[in-house]
Structure 1
């Protein structure tokens, strides 16, 4: 969508922004070449040698010197040359000093190859010309040719960072020199850095520079020192059973051994150094070779006169699966700058977040320091492209949108600072009375809850429900697990509890209307099987909590809000929603959709989960139901839009009663897609939505909005850099896109650190929203999140889609033993199978079970 204009509503406010103005004094052509770098070995060409990461950059440095040209290389397969080379296609032979050793064929330590150098074949082929002059014309910055030119500048900055041996992560750069190195615990540390990318905006070209907080790297130390810290033990106490986990953490990590050569860790030996044997090829007095069996301990004593300090430790295998090479841990040094790719523990996350939070004023100082560093590193190269970057942050114009009136209790409440409370009020509409409900407690072994404790907590919650307007009777049954069961598997504990419930049910043959479940912690292994059973088999609304022995009123109120929403009530509604005064939404039957895909960790093959939520209680826009399906790992595009959307549309119609009809308008909020995926969303997902509607004989007007949270634009109030921007701050000028219909909105109150605005892009709009209408609508939707008494940072339907995907991900099991059948017969050795998620029972399927 092209921008139809600019918003006018709200109080004008002046802001500073972490964008820096960029100017070009004159345009020039840059030649783009495709590059292929291949290794030519000095000996066996079929033998694979571990090549140090970044060797291709050193190869291209040699090529640059030989060609005597200004050459910019992206580290993979593209190079840019200022001016033209004298050829269009050429192969070159480049020789580098050998930087890495290779594994020997014996089980002993690695030996250097006979060759002292490695030879590389480089093929350079002309691709196209890139016109940097297009960046001088603001009206052309949205064109694809401008993106090609921006990539040249981004690659230049990235290359300068690579030369300084920074850790590169897309357009972010980290190094020990860029800020304090902080210990996160368990053998890892955080490095500071910055993000830098050139962006088109309404004011022209800008450099977006931000501190992306930190990245986590493994501490540079000896392997046994890392493992001692990781397992919280002494170096000499590292056990054999530690090594399975250790291999998952360290496999692929580069270490430098005693010969100063570098190798990747493959795994660990089966035996300690004192007893791990291998065959050593030795030459006898008669000139013949024979194999002698020796231990690693004996080898190091005989060959290097080294006495191992920890002979009881297993060795590091720096060889291959078919050719092991064993080196004692105390002779393997982990090289600096290697990212830690495992999931952080709870303690590590807390320490990392505490270190990463920065007040706006502190963040401004870091950004100013970062631009000074970047300009210092890249000034010569930028000048060669006639590029000048201002060293002062941009000043931009914003507006603070008015907060909506909220209706709860018996009054309309004005919201101050994006926050409100229920201290003296009731919910907007209570759910149906809760007459028959059961309380179960999965206990802890240490300091367990007594029956009296659980009954007291249940009664306190019941009283809080009544105070907030819900009709809740006393629980009909309270069951407390014997603490000795805490060591049983979670699914077994749940089965035993359900059997106990059925045996003691005061109303045999009748299902309870609600079940409250007390867990010993949020990470309890009983949580997932409990949810799975009660949502997919029992079909009973439920709420899991992990309370303190004496929970406070705020905690209980938060639980009541979730209960009321799950049971069909309304906590808060917009006054304009209640009075049917929402622009565009209140005058035609409208469904709001939220779409999100939740992926596993970056280095896992866990199937992704796609979730779609839809409102169904028009003219209100507060209640949603969800449809969730699993799909291939890392697949961002929705694979099953028709089945999910058709179900939601039918639910919308059925909820209206006998005369119900399908919605006349769809407002779709899509999360998690980048700019490069916009085209596929329009040609794929949007078309699937249209075809699904047409299949039901309808064609509603559709508006499609993408919400982006993973960007690096930040706003700071002028003259008040110790404070965050006000909730409702919107920016649709200056640093917004020069032509596209987009804006930045900071809808929430930032208590810690610096507030991150959400970037909204209207990709498609048949409804015909004016800028003020869509901005106010989105800001209002951030006040309808049922779990919170604050405005949230992104529209509620996207939050709900994320919660639904996360909740259903608990039901997945790759072996299919507990969660349903598999859609593929693939084994663990092949691609991971995609599970078929179990269906929710009818009486919970259309509730807000996910909050």
Structure 2
């Protein structure tokens, strides 16, 4: 084995960590990582397995277990292998299998949980791939060798070893497994199961296992009749006697299609067989007829005659499980452990959040309990591979960075201050640059009975007073008020409001304030589509229930949004604290790509790029593209960047000399592809504006979706929710062995356990030190425009994320269908009007 150290430039295509940061107060925290104290000291043998016919991993595991049972003492030579459920088998020593061998396996009938008939026999083709030696991985962890394919396979093998036992015993989804022992029913016939995530992670000098809590929704086990009752929002099955509409039946049919059930009327033996629901019968059990031995009878008559069972709910339809097999709903049980893959309703999502929201100390305790289930100490597979794991969470060095000084308008009593624990309020403060609102209208969607004019006027008075106190100029304090039906022609209603605003004030309308009767998506979506892409006017929505109360705090939050929508600036950071932005013309960019939900295969992805417009980096312009496929590369980044560079030049009179590019929505496996494609696109955009124009670029990946959590060791280092203080940064022990990454928890805890953001600098022509990029990223989190608290992710990326979400509403088509999940497949996307593109209309 070659042990010559690589030179730094040969170790990685990305930036090496320049140094460890020193600024801030040094503290210690615990993290949900558990050290692998001994790696395999033998060569692990890697086999490829192909199972035909192709079936899902859950069945593959059952086939593998049966294969192991039949061949343990023979072809497997008493070696207990581990299997990833798809293609890979790892063994602790060579198996007595030829280079490639085929085995036949039949599953016993009671193993079939798929609801479909299984083939009589499966074929397993097992083929040796190679050997894994852990010396190479040890060199990588120590920063002496690059991440080779062999290292990646070695890490994958560790993952498969730790996952093998839980995946055989429990329901597995990705890196998580779930158990019904800690579950809770939620609305709509679903239940949440608590689960555990685990992943083998390379860190500085060591391999560790990252263990976290997971939760996912399953269909609630038990009588199908009860599930249908809950789906319809009824209290008891007897409430169904009052009748169910055809529309409701269609809704339920969509919800329960492909659900696995078993029957309860023929005893325990038969009930192990599963069926899959395909649809409802068009008629009730009393009226659904079929031929039985030449006699035509209804399903109800059949059950009375054959099983001496009178159906209690014969007025309900039957479920069809195969052609001409009809099962009355009341004899069906929903099989346990079926994942709820449809989008959760708002109520279900709220229930899910409540279930998963746990204080940091609770979460830490639950993770420790998870180790008892994972059982690293007595797991025979780990022992066989020589793996030992420390059962204590790792303790890390961390630092709490200083809080920046935030600046409002000089006429404020409290215009420059340092917030405490990441939040503040607007009392005695005026926005840095207040916009003028002279031409506007109010549209109230709903009847005058629900929203009387005097109530709306009271709300507008409070809003105008609050906006004026906060530094906006509102010469027109009595805008026209229009009542309209939420089911009406929204486009026409908003055009009328725009005309009324312009005619009354004799000026170009600036804003339409919309009061909504509910928080439903379709009305809101249509308002944004029309205002953004048809009329080209800023819109602000608020809910009727908030208008009725008209609290000052609520009005202040709306004021922050309206001010930036009209081109104002709410606050900025003192220039001395962001020298990278203020020393030389610098543009901050944030990029994100959002993909449609799992069921929306025909919908496009949306890419958004946001760029700062001045040296204060408080105002941003946005560019949007709709792109096909689910690729994470931004297809038209060059032209999008060109738009923003031009806007910066028109706003400042100078071209940016530096670009700091924060990129969201990229997984580790795509770092290389995204970096190469997108830095090249930025370069090309600059060169196309002017030959020889070559600003220096820093490219940073921003990840929020990870399972790394930090728990303060000392109460003095925690905020009032028990989370780490805003500004907590971790860059050693659990970070990359030698690349430039760090975790930053920039926001104060609200509820539950806060999650930090993982920043990974891939490319850096601006020679950032660790302190430089960490302090700048932390400071930026204090000037997110629409709230008075530090946020968890740098604003340019936050804005790009909001713009992606907003662009989903810019769709319009003949057959438009806007649901909570997105937009119907036949729709086309409107383009944001030029007059809005230079203001933060999306806030």
Normalised TM-score (structure 1): 0.88
Q: Does 1:437 align with 2:440?
A: yes
Helix, strand or coil for the counterpart of 2:829?
coil
Residue aligning to 1:647: 643
Residue aligning to 1:850: 842
Residue aligning to 2:630: 634
Q: Is the 8 A contact 2:440 2:501 kept in 1?
A: no
Residue aligning to 2:424: 420
Sort the Cα spacing of 1:517 and 1:788 in 2 relative to 1 into closer, same or farther, 3 A.
Answer: same
- 1:596, distance to aligned residue in structure 2 (A): 0.9
The CA distance in 2 between the partners of 1:295 and 1:169, in whole Å, is 42
Helix, strand or coil for the counterpart of 1:602?
coil
The CA distance in 2 between the partners of 1:232 and 1:836, in whole Å, is 35
Superposition pairs of residues 525-544 of structure 1, within 5 angstroms: 525-544=522-541
The CA distance in 2 between the partners of 1:500 and 1:55, in whole Å, is 59
Residue aligning to 1:519: 516
Superposition pairs of residues 402-551 of structure 1, within 5 angstroms: 402-410=402-410, 411-431=415-435, 433-443=436-446, 448-481=450-483, 485-486=485-486, 488-489=487-488, 492-496=489-493, 498-499=495-496, 502=499, 506-507=503-504, 510-523=507-520, 525-546=522-543, 547-551=546-550
Greater Cα shift, 519-528 or 89-98: 519-528
Q: Is the 8 A contact 1:134 1:141 kept in 2?
A: no
The CA distance in 2 between the partners of 1:550 and 1:839, in whole Å, is 36
- 1:803, distance to aligned residue in structure 2 (A): 0.8
The CA distance in 2 between the partners of 1:228 and 1:266, in whole Å, is 19
The CA distance in 2 between the partners of 1:500 and 1:572, in whole Å, is 31
The CA distance in 1 between the partners of 2:324 and 2:402, in whole Å, is 67
Residue aligning to 1:235: 237
The CA distance in 2 between the partners of 1:475 and 1:731, in whole Å, is 50
Greater Cα shift, 782-791 or 152-161: 152-161
Correspondent of 1:295 among 289, 294, 298: 298
- Per-residue deviation, residues 269-289 of structure 1 (Å, max 9, x unmatched): 111111122344x3xxxxxxx
Greater Cα shift, 91-100 or 786-795: 91-100
- 1:387, distance to aligned residue in structure 2 (A): 0.8
The CA distance in 2 between the partners of 1:193 and 1:52, in whole Å, is 20
Residue aligning to 1:44: none
Superposition pairs of residues 153-552 of structure 1, within 5 angstroms: 153-164=158-169, 166-177=170-181, 180-212=182-214, 214-233=215-234, 234-236=236-238, 237=240, 239=244, 240-258=246-264, 259-260=270-271, 261-280=273-292, 282=293, 292-319=295-322, 323-375=323-375, 379-410=379-410, 411-431=415-435, 433-443=436-446, 448-481=450-483, 485-486=485-486, 488-489=487-488, 492-496=489-493, 498-499=495-496, 502=499, 506-507=503-504, 510-523=507-520, 525-546=522-543, 547-552=546-551
- 1:848, distance to aligned residue in structure 2 (A): 0.3
- Per-residue deviation, residues 425-453 of structure 1 (Å, max 9, x unmatched): 1111212x2222222211258x6111111
Helix, strand or coil for the counterpart of 2:172?
strand
Q: Is the 8 A contact 2:36 2:387 kept in 1?
A: yes
- Unpaired stretches in structure 2, ≥5 consecutive residues: 1-14, 265-269
Residue aligning to 1:56: 60
Residue aligning to 2:103: 92
- 1:760, distance to aligned residue in structure 2 (A): 0.5
Sort the Cα spacing of 1:510 and 1:79 in 2 relative to 1 into closer, same or farther, 3 A.
Answer: same
- 1:203, distance to aligned residue in structure 2 (A): 4.5
The CA distance in 1 between the partners of 2:39 and 2:446, in whole Å, is 71
Q: Is the 8 A contact 1:611 1:802 kept in 2?
A: no
Sort the Cα spacing of 1:455 and 1:538 in 2 relative to 1 into closer, same or farther, 3 A.
Answer: same
Q: Is the 8 A contact 1:442 1:518 kept in 2?
A: yes
Q: Is the 8 A contact 2:510 2:566 kept in 1?
A: no
Sort the Cα spacing of 1:241 and 1:496 in 2 relative to 1 into closer, same or farther, 3 A.
Answer: same
Helix, strand or coil for the counterpart of 2:225?
helix
Residue aligning to 1:9: 23
Residue aligning to 2:85: 75
Residue aligning to 2:267: none
Greater Cα shift, 373-382 or 756-765: 373-382
Residue aligning to 1:687: 680
- Unpaired stretches in structure 1, ≥5 consecutive residues: 41-50, 104-109, 283-290, 820-826
- 1:814, distance to aligned residue in structure 2 (A): 5.7
Greater Cα shift, 330-339 or 60-69: 60-69
- 1:845, distance to aligned residue in structure 2 (A): 1.5
Residue aligning to 2:7: none
Helix, strand or coil for the counterpart of 1:5?
coil
Q: Is the 8 A contact 2:377 2:389 kept in 1?
A: no
Q: Is the 8 A contact 2:611 2:622 kept in 1?
A: no
Greater Cα shift, 218-227 or 584-593: 584-593
The CA distance in 2 between the partners of 1:461 and 1:277, in whole Å, is 65
- Per-residue deviation, residues 653-703 of structure 1 (Å, max 9, x unmatched): 2223xxx34322211111111111112212322322222222323322111
Q: Is the 8 A contact 1:613 1:624 kept in 2?
A: no
Sort the Cα spacing of 1:642 and 1:277 in 2 relative to 1 into closer, same or farther, 3 A.
Answer: farther
Residue aligning to 1:46: none
- 1:415, distance to aligned residue in structure 2 (A): 1.5
The CA distance in 1 between the partners of 2:20 and 2:625, in whole Å, is 38
Residue aligning to 1:148: 153
The CA distance in 2 between the partners of 1:95 and 1:147, in whole Å, is 34
Q: Is the 8 A contact 2:17 2:740 kept in 1?
A: yes
Sort the Cα spacing of 1:356 and 1:743 in 2 relative to 1 into closer, same or farther, 3 A.
Answer: same
- 1:461, distance to aligned residue in structure 2 (A): 0.8
Sort the Cα spacing of 1:53 and 1:83 in 2 relative to 1 into closer, same or farther, 3 A.
Answer: closer
Residue aligning to 2:829: 837
The CA distance in 2 between the partners of 1:292 and 1:52, in whole Å, is 41
Residue aligning to 1:589: 585
The CA distance in 2 between the partners of 1:500 and 1:30, in whole Å, is 72
Greater Cα shift, 197-206 or 776-785: 197-206
Sort the Cα spacing of 1:574 and 1:500 in 2 relative to 1 into closer, same or farther, 3 A.
Answer: closer
- Per-residue deviation, residues 712-737 of structure 1 (Å, max 9, x unmatched): 11111114387111100000011111
- 1:343, distance to aligned residue in structure 2 (A): 2.2
- Per-residue deviation, residues 392-414 of structure 1 (Å, max 9, x unmatched): 11110000000111111323211
- 1:344, distance to aligned residue in structure 2 (A): 2.1
Q: Is the 8 A contact 2:813 2:828 kept in 1?
A: no
Superposition pairs of residues 756-795 of structure 1, within 5 angstroms: 756-795=755-794
- Per-residue deviation, residues 737-796 of structure 1 (Å, max 9, x unmatched): 111110000000012111111011011111111111000111011111000100000000
Q: Is the 8 A contact 1:479 1:501 kept in 2?
A: no
How many equivalent residue pairs? 792
The CA distance in 1 between the partners of 2:630 and 2:502, in whole Å, is 44
The CA distance in 2 between the partners of 1:739 and 1:243, in whole Å, is 58
The CA distance in 2 between the partners of 1:235 and 1:842, in whole Å, is 56
The CA distance in 2 between the partners of 1:192 and 1:565, in whole Å, is 42
Helix, strand or coil for the counterpart of 2:32?
strand
The CA distance in 1 between the partners of 2:208 and 2:146, in whole Å, is 11
Residue aligning to 2:744: 745
Sort the Cα spacing of 1:18 and 1:303 in 2 relative to 1 into closer, same or farther, 3 A.
Answer: same
Question: RMSD across aligned C-alpha pairs, in angstroms?
Answer: 2.7
Correspondent of 1:119 among 99, 108, 121: 121
Sort the Cα spacing of 1:771 and 1:497 in 2 relative to 1 into closer, same or farther, 3 A.
Answer: closer
The CA distance in 2 between the partners of 1:610 and 1:341, in whole Å, is 23
Normalised TM-score (structure 2): 0.89
- 1:639, distance to aligned residue in structure 2 (A): 2.3
Sort the Cα spacing of 1:54 and 1:434 in 2 relative to 1 into closer, same or farther, 3 A.
Answer: closer
Helix, strand or coil for the counterpart of 1:396?
strand
